[in-house]
Amino acid sequence: MPRDIEALVAQMTLEEKAGLCSGQDFWHTKGVSRLGIPGVMVCDGPHGLRKQDQTGDHLGLNDSIQAVCFPTACATASSFDRDLLRALGEALGDACQAEDVAVVLGPAVNIKRSPLCGRNFEYFSEDPYLAGELAAAHIHGVQSRGVGASIKHFAANNQEYHRLTCSAQIDERTLREIYLPAFETAVKREQPWTVMCSYNLINGVYASQDPWLLTALLRDEWGFEGFVMSDWGAVDDRAAALAAGLELEMPGTYGHSADAQIVRAVREGRLSEKVLDRAVARLLRIIFRYTDNRRAAVFDKDAQHALATQMARESAVLLRNRDRALPLTENARVAFIGEFAQKPRFQGGGSSHINAHRISSALDAAAGLPGVCYAPGFPADKDEANPQWVAQAVALAKESQAAVIFAGLPDIFESEGYDRQHMRLPDCQVALIRAVAAVQPRTIVVLHNGSPVEMPWAQDVSAILEMYLAGQGVGQAAVDLLFGRANPCGKLAESFPLRLADNPSYLNFPGDGDRVEYREGVFVGYRYYDAKEMAVAFPFGHGLSYTTYRYGNLRFDKQTLSATETLTVQVDVTNTGAVAGKETVQLYVADHTGAAVRPPKELKGFVKLSLAPGETKTATFTLDERAFAWYHTGLRAWRCAAGAYEVLIGASSRDIRLTGHVTLDTPPLPLRVDTNTRVETVLNHPLLAGVAQEYRDHAFPPDEREKTDVAKAAINEEMEHRTALEAPLRSARSFGQLTDEELQAGIDRFNRLLQGE
């Protein structure tokens, strides 16, 4: 039977209500036993359950229960697979139900602005559309099990350096187009039970106490219905945060600070008790949604290990495969080199660190292959060359048919809490890769890393398999892919620049410690590299396969559409190779209207198809107005300009297979004409063009235009033409024959036409 939340709130004392707005301890909310209000537990995620007791910590320094470590978001994003993310969410939800956890903290959807962010392994992508789609699928899976998800970190938490006190200085368009859409998609589509605010300030205001962010945007505009919680220790002013829309502060302060601040603010009249009542009601609805709908669940760790291994296989990206170096044959003599083959790095450090119940190494997985031999080559935990190990590895590689080097970043190189200082692999690994490649033409590198690395050795090796931080099944998954038991199908969810200096945030990351300027604006990741026509090591969306695919028969259900219509796009894809595979078909949109400065193209759809040899399937996309829109800061709204758009279908952002054009027949953008409006603006406006030409002919009679000062000063006709079009309307009184009164009459007439008079 439904709870009467308002009646419960009415029975609570001021102190009880204030108490519910902060945690009991590190992981539990408070309860009110006399009213039957229970406390509940929240736990870290998002790629596994990290359940600790109340003496635990949020940075992963102490052990949690044994659980299953799934691939981290940097890997799962490369699956481009909504179903896979939904399955991950379901598994996490089952584990939470079995362990009596009400809310799992994740997914994390902050954009990968720079490859140096220490927490990039926990984030999905540089692209907000992809991040939003995968986050929505993840949340759907978790919450289908009667457990809440907490999407994080809201918002603009794109670095670890001074993350608790640094202000992210971002213009509104950049926020709206890059750093907010993943949250927006997830909130509108899946209604996560909670949203976790970030530590940082945004344009000088702490995210924890920003009423625009937490109320005007999140609740009033997006329709969020759950409660907002703080990241651990993110609250600056508790009363201001509550007024802004932050219901729950974590962790608990044991009544010494937060609760007293709220009580005092209410009694002093600085905080309305109605605001507190509303916050408590929001908390109670979520608490009872969990406790009143508990269900039996089994945390089958072995079954989830199998899922984790499958996810690792589906997420791995084959970056390079010269002369079909892969797959290897199972009877070949193959040297496994690098300590990561024995001690894989499969997750990042910090609050998401999972106490994995079992770990599959590549050496374990290859135990049944008689031709596999091993040399440590270099240590997995530090950058330290061992000459004896190097000599042994080179000798082993030389006498083998192929060498597989298991390389990557040691734990100390990337973690929550600090950013990377560079994009390089450890020097000892780079030296060994080059030494082995010099004696073994069939050298394959398997990477274990949470973010892009520079690869000055890429042309020296035959194949590169990017495993990322692929969870506890990484070893089995890598061996399955290396030996062709599985076909790689991952695609990069981020661009790999050739060098760190190529990254668009290079000159503005991580800021001076107090402020970080997002001066690259909307040109993040491939949006920047494409606009600059810059070479990259591997582009966004790239990923090879052991088979080949043919794209064809691109078609649209209409060639012209209004703002209220949707466009259906279809394309046929055929597996033209000899083995089964999965191909992610990517759809990008390019705006050719010239109405705004925009990236050359932006991802607006993707479909993953499973294809047997010779099989053809159709990828279908549906595009709405938002797929064509940019955020107009003057109007503070999403807008599409009328005109031509290009739809591009590709296997990556740089491998476009098919293109087509459509026209948007949308109303003109709102306009208010004044003396500084440009001549070309009114001449090109469908409602104003006729009248504008009439005034132009009056101001500059056609038979006298060559006599004007502008015409006399022009070096050529193009200069005269462009100068005249780009001039403000007020130029008609300086260089033409309009009086002030005639100019103002014309402007008034334009504005009446725009208002439909």
Q: Which two tokens stand for residue 87?
A: 């399955």
Nearest to 385, CA basis, from 398, 376, 373, 396: 376
**pLDDT-derived band of residue 693, with 50, 70 and 90 as boundaries?**
confident
Q: Is the pLDDT of residue 399 over 70?
A: yes
In this structure, what are the phi and psi dihedrals at residue 292, rounded to the nearest 5 degrees?
-80, -5
pLDDT in tens, 495-552: 999 999 999 999 999 999 999 999 999 999 999 999 999 999 999 999 999 999 999 9
Q: Which two tokens stand for residue 427?
A: 């020097």
Strand runs labelled E in 170-241: 194-197, 201-202, 205-206, 227-230
For residue 436, the model assigns a pLDDT of: 98
Q: Is the pLDDT of residue 350 over 80?
A: yes
Q: For residues 359 and 39, what is the distance between their CA atoms, to the nearest angstrom?
A: 34
Nearest to 652, CA basis, from 574, 552, 584: 584
Q: Which two tokens stand for residue 589?
A: 């949109």
What does the radius of gyration of the chain's CA atoms come to, in whole angstroms? 29
What's the burial of 215, exposed, middle or buried (CB within 10 Å: 0-12/13-18/19+)? middle
Sheet with 167-169: strands ordered across: 205-206, 201-202, 167-169, 515-517
47-72 burial string, b = 16+ CB within 10 Å, else e? bbbbbbeeebebbbeeebbebbbbbb
- The number of angstroms, rounded, from the C-alpha of 301 to the middle of its chain's C-alpha atoms is 29
Strand runs labelled E in 486-563: 515-517, 549-556, 560-561
Q: For the residues of 383-398, what is the DSSP string, one character each?
A: ----HHHHHHHHHHHH
For residue 61, the model assigns a pLDDT of: 47
The sign of the torsion formed by the CA atoms of 639, 645, 651, 656 equals negative
The CA–CA distances, whole Å, from 700 to 523, 704, 711, 742 equal: 41, 7, 11, 13
Residue 434 · residue 456 · CB < 8 Å: no
Residue from 231, 480, 530, 591 carrying the catalytic annotation: 231
Place of tokens 């409006």: 677
302-335 burial string, b = 16+ CB within 10 Å, else e? eebbebbbbbbbbbbbbbbbeeebbbbebeeebb
Q: For residues 112 and 122, what is the distance between their CA atoms, to the nearest angstrom?
A: 10
Q: For residues 164 and 169, what is the distance between their CA atoms, to the nearest angstrom?
A: 15
Which DSSP state fits 674? Answer: -
Nearest to 412, CA basis, from 464, 386, 449: 449
Q: Which two tokens stand for residue 396?
A: 């082993």
- What average pLDDT score do residues 37-64 get? 79
pLDDT in tens, 284-322: 999 999 999 998 888 999 999 999 999 999 999 999 999
For residue 726, the model assigns a pLDDT of: 83
For residue 709, the model assigns a pLDDT of: 52
485, amino acid identity? R
Question: Is 231 designated active site?
Answer: yes
Place of tokens 């027949």: 665
pLDDT in tens, 246-291: 999 999 875 557 889 999 999 999 999 999 999 999 999 999 999 9
For residue 719, the model assigns a pLDDT of: 65
For residue 681, the model assigns a pLDDT of: 87
